[in-house]
Chain A
Amino acid sequence: GAVVSQHPSRVICKSGTSVKIECRSLDFQATTMFWYRQFPKQSLMLMATSNEGSKATYEQGVEKDKFLINHASLTLSTLTVTSAHPEDSSFYICSAGSTGGSYTEAFFGQGTRLTVV
């Protein structure tokens, strides 16, 4: 099946720095990617929808200037957490799909565990 690769799987950064997380579709063209955030023992909360070649659509309450999303190609979307603070520590996970694919397909990356110290 199709594979979505997310990198890095774990990152520790200092407060005030920026961190970039990559989400790649390895064997299909992902016209749409979604970024989710998951706090411990909680569900996945959608942060934003990323469409190739256009601006991301952010969910209510998500700061677009803090969580920068770029979907410059059909195989890569990036999430940059800018000026990270300890409260940004969380598990971030992307999912990707293609309008040309089966409607049953929904592929997730492996997730990135971000710790801000």
Chain B
Amino acid sequence: AQKITQTQPGMFVQEKEAVTLDCTYDTSDQSYGLFWYKQPSSGEMIFLIYQGSYDEQNATEGRYSLNFQKARKSANLVISASQLGDSAMYFCAMREGVYNFNKFYFGSGTKLNVKP
């Protein structure tokens, strides 16, 4: 079974509007971390936001927020007030275990296009 599922291969959003990128995950571990990364065409992986499995509050980082619904095993990324520079690939990732640096499981990605 896929550990991370991103069902939206591509998304379009109008500049200045909000957009939600979906992510569901599968794990039997109690401790895990969920991450979102942005990958522009240059290829670098830019860390956006992190949510720990024990965190009760949804994570927020500037215009990024993570809608964490543990029972549904979903960790959707919300980008508010989209900007043209937000156009990129977005990957949801999970790392099992919180206190060890374990490998990431990545989703297939969502290509976001922000229209002017």
Please list the residues of chain A having a beta carbon within 8 angstroms of any beta carbon in chain B.
31-32, 34, 38, 42-46, 49, 91, 93, 95, 97-99, 101, 103-106, 108, 110-111, 113
Q: Which residues of B contact A42 (CB under 8 A)?
A: 108-109
Contact A106–B44 (Cβ < 8 Å): no
Contact B43–A104 (Cβ < 8 Å): no
Contact A34–B43 (Cβ < 8 Å): no
A-B contact pairs, 21 of them (CB 8 A): A34-B103, A34-B104, A43-B91, A44-B45, A44-B91, A44-B106, A46-B104, A93-B43, A93-B45, A95-B104, A99-B100, A103-B33, A104-B33, A104-B52, A106-B95, A106-B101, A108-B37, A108-B44, A110-B42, A110-B44, A111-B45
| Cβ 8 A contact of B101, one of A32, A44, A45, A111 | A32
Minimum CB–CB distance for A5 against chain B, Å: 12
Please list the residues of chain B having a beta carbon within 8 angstroms of any beta carbon in chain A.
33, 35, 37, 42-45, 47, 50, 52, 91, 95, 98-101, 103-104, 106-109
Q: Which residues of A contact B99 (CB under 8 A)?
A: 103
| Cβ 8 A contact of B43, one of A91, A95, A106 | A91
Q: Told that A103-B33, A104-B52 touch, could you supply 20 new A-B pairs with CB distance under 8 A? A: A31-B101, A34-B104, A42-B108, A43-B91, A43-B107, A43-B109, A44-B45, A49-B103, A91-B43, A95-B45, A95-B104, A99-B101, A103-B100, A103-B101, A104-B33, A108-B44, A108-B47, A110-B44, A111-B43, A111-B44
Contact B101–A97 (Cβ < 8 Å): yes
- A42 CA / B47 CA spacing, docked (Å): 18
Interface of B is mostly: loop
Closest to B109 in A: A43
- A105 CA / B50 CA spacing, docked (Å): 9
Contact A108–B33 (Cβ < 8 Å): no
Contact B100–A46 (Cβ < 8 Å): no
- A99 CA / B98 CA spacing, docked (Å): 11
| Cβ 8 A contact of B108, one of A43, A95, A104 | A43
Q: Which residues of A contact B109 (CB under 8 A)?
A: 42-43
Q: Which residues of B contact A31 (CB under 8 A)?
A: 101
